[in-house]
Amino acid sequence: MTDKQRFLVYVRIGSLIASIRQKENLSINDAVKRLIENGIIQKIEDLETGYYLESSAYLEDEFINL
């Protein structure tokens, strides 16, 4: 993983955590737990899926639909 890819992964995950926290009124820990249990974080970290390149809105939709 390149530095640029790592940066994009962290940005996407951070953005998704913030969004889920706000929409569902969760703590950071609870939001992270939900995202891990849902499997979306693993998909973002897997560069072959290309999820790290997707928009925050797309990832939120994927989170809801998984």
CA-to-CA separations, 56 to 2, 26, in angstroms, rounded: 21, 18
Domain count, the chain: 1
Q: For 3-52, write each residue's pLDDT tens digit.
A: 999 999 999 999 999 999 999 999 999 999 999 999 999 999 999 999 99
Backbone angles phi, psi at 54, to 5 degrees: -80, 160
pTM, two decimals, is 0.86
Of 8, 24, 25, the closest CA to residue 64 belongs to 24
DSSP state of 62: H
Three-class SS state of 27: coil
Determine the structural domain holding residue 49 and report its residue range.
Answer: 3-65
